[in-house]
Amino acid sequence: MLRRIISAAAALALAVSISTGCSAQSRDDSRLSIVCTVYPLYDWTSQIVSGAPDTDLTYLMDNGADLHNYQPTADDMMTVSDCDVFIYVGGESDKWVDSALKNARNKDMKVIDLMDVLGSRLREEELKEGMQSTEEEEEDSGNEPEFDEHIWLSLRNAEDCTVAIASILSDADSEHAEIFKNNASAYIDELAALDDDYKELTDSAENRTLIFGDRFPFRYLVDDYGLDYYAAFKGCSSESEASFETVTFLAGKCDELGAEYVFTIDGSDCSIADAVIASTKSKSQKVLTLNSMQSVKAADGKPAPSYIELMTDNLNTLKEALN
Ligand SMILES: [Zn+2]
Instruction: Give tens-digit pLDDT for 105-136.
Output: 999 999 999 999 999 999 998 888 889 877 66
pLDDT digits (tens, 9 = 90+) for 20-59: 333 333 445 689 999 999 999 999 999 999 999 999 999 9
Query: What top-level class would CATH report for the domain 2-116+150-193?
Result: alpha beta
Count other Cβ atoms within 10 Å, centred on residue 299: 9
- For ligand 1, the distance from its centroid to the CA atom of residue 128, given in whole angstroms, is 17
- For ligand 1, the distance from its centroid to the CA atom of residue 87, given in whole angstroms, is 18
pLDDT digits (tens, 9 = 90+) for 73-107: 999 999 999 999 999 999 999 999 999 999 999 99
Those residues with Cβ within 8 angstroms of residue 5's Cβ, 6 or more apart along the chain or in another chain: none
User: Could you check whether 2-116+150-193 and 205-292 share the same CATH topology?
Assistant: yes
Q: Is the pTM of this model over 0.85?
A: yes
Count other Cβ atoms within 10 Å, centred on residue 139: 10
- Look at residue 70 and give its three-state secondary structure: coil
The model's confidence at residue 240, banded by pLDDT at 50, 70 and 90, is confident
For the purposes of burial, counting CB atoms within 10 Å of the CB of 200, is it exposed (0-12), middle (13-18) or buried (19 or more)?
A: exposed
Query: What top-level class would CATH report for the domain 205-292?
Result: alpha beta
CA distances to 25, 82, 288 from 12, in Å: 12, 18, 47
- For ligand 1, the distance from its centroid to the CA atom of residue 217, given in whole angstroms, is 6
* pLDDT-above-70 percentage for the chain: 88
pLDDT digits (tens, 9 = 90+) for 271-307: 999 999 999 999 999 999 999 999 898 888 888 999 9
Count other Cβ atoms within 10 Å, centred on residue 25: 13
**Segment 147-154 mean pLDDT:** 97
- For ligand 1, the distance from its centroid to the CA atom of residue 71, given in whole angstroms, is 15
Give the pLDDT confidence score for residue 24 in this predicted structure.
Answer: 35
Domain boundaries, the chain: 2-116+150-193, 205-292
- For ligand 1, the distance from its centroid to the CA atom of residue 65, given in whole angstroms, is 11
